[in-house]
Structure 1
């Protein structure tokens, strides 16, 4: 496992009440996703955003993660919550095992800073999103905080916008809180 990748043995931290209060996943999903959206949650982990997405849409949510252990935890939680519209896909972000033009929206929450090639991950997200679709990234702002990855692994919102523009995306930054931001990105070509 890459040193930058989240350790599945610490998965319970992803579901903490403090994290839910800071990020408000249900509210975020309500604000940025529609009932008819087919969605790929890349880097889905144990489902912090996947379950709210599955409850929001009448369509399919593709939960993509590199760790089988995380998808197994998500599958168990989905069963407890009665979510049956999730498909589970073992894959990394640089080679997403989904069809071209499959989804209306892609969510990549707290995973872009972990990939080896951001450009390749963005190209893959662009490949799986339908024309006119949207990619929503959530990341850690490049500031010192108690939680999250080390400062040297974080990508500032300004730098992320620059990276997206360099990779042919129109990008809009949305500040979530002092520590986290989202980017709504649309492929330009």
Structure 2
């Protein structure tokens, strides 16, 4: 449903200083416990607000997944400006991620889950690509009226999102980086595997 999708023409506001100050991406990604040995996927990477600091923490490639080629182009430019070379750009939607099963140990999904057609399918995909015991950090807008952000009617309440993640085999821990946002650190249960066809 394209009317739910953020317009890439407005990508500059995603990287502005005010937003960085509010979201504190370096502090937020601490919750993912990324080490130099982790392989990370940033799903809905946009122009790289979180991708670039993630790439600085690992020696492996960070998979920057976004459906919008314009966003990936901006991310490439932003990474080049900081001389970051360990980012792999992937044009993909979140319901069909072109990564192998159990191929990443960390997944970030920031401010895009409300845009997908099937949230269940997107969560299944995140679970599929994560190693058992791997971490997902999911952030989104709380379902409250605010001056910025997506329309209220497409926002997913934090409790509902936490319950969905638990239903899909994650142990969750929620925190609030600010009054308008929530973040859920979700650990894939060790015994959770992909069902055989």
Paired positions, count: 189
Q: Shift of the alpha carbon at 1:30?
A: 3.3
Cα contact 1:165–1:171 (8 A) shared by 2: yes
Structure 1 unaligned blocks of 5 or more:
none
Question: Cα deviation per residue 1:7-46 (whole Å; 9 max; x = unaligned)?
Answer: 1011011012111111000121234332221100000011
Q: Tell me how far apart the structure 2 counterparts of residues 100 and 133 of structure 1 sit (CA, whole Å).
A: 12
| Cα displacement string for residues 52-89 of structure 1 (whole angstroms, at most 9, x for unaligned residues) | 10112122200000011100110011011010000011
Q: Quote the Cα distance in structure 2 between the aligned partners of 1:111 and 1:46.
A: 13
For the residues of structure 2 that align with 1:14 and 1:49, how far apart are their CA atoms?
Answer: 10
> Following the alignment from structure 2 to structure 1, what is the Cα–Cα distance between the partners of residues 121 and 127?
10
Deviation of 1:128 after TM superposition, in Å, equals 0.6
CA RMSD of aligned residues (A): 1.2
1:8-47 to 2 correspondence within 5 Å?
8-35=8-35, 36-47=37-48
What's the offset of the Cα at 1:112? Answer: 0.6
1:130 deviation in Å?
1.0
The 8 Å contact of residues 43 and 66 in structure 1, kept in 2 or not, is answered as yes
Contact 1:38 1:59 in 2 (8 A): yes
The 8 Å contact of residues 64 and 87 in structure 2, kept in 1 or not, is answered as: yes
Unaligned residue ranges in structure 2 (runs of 5+): 193-197
Alignment of 1:15-94 (within 5 A): 15-35=15-35, 36-94=37-95
Instruction: Give the match for residue 161 of structure 2.
Output: 160
Q: Which residue of 2 aligns with 1:103?
A: 104
TM-score normalised by L of structure 1: 0.96
Give distance in 2, aligned partners of 1:175 and 1:129: 24
The CA deviation at 1:51 is 0.5
Counterpart CA distance in 2 for 1:138 and 1:117 is: 17
Deviation of 1:174 after TM superposition, in Å, equals 1.3
**Offset from partner CA, 1:83-103 (integer Å, 9 cap, x none):** 000001110000001111111
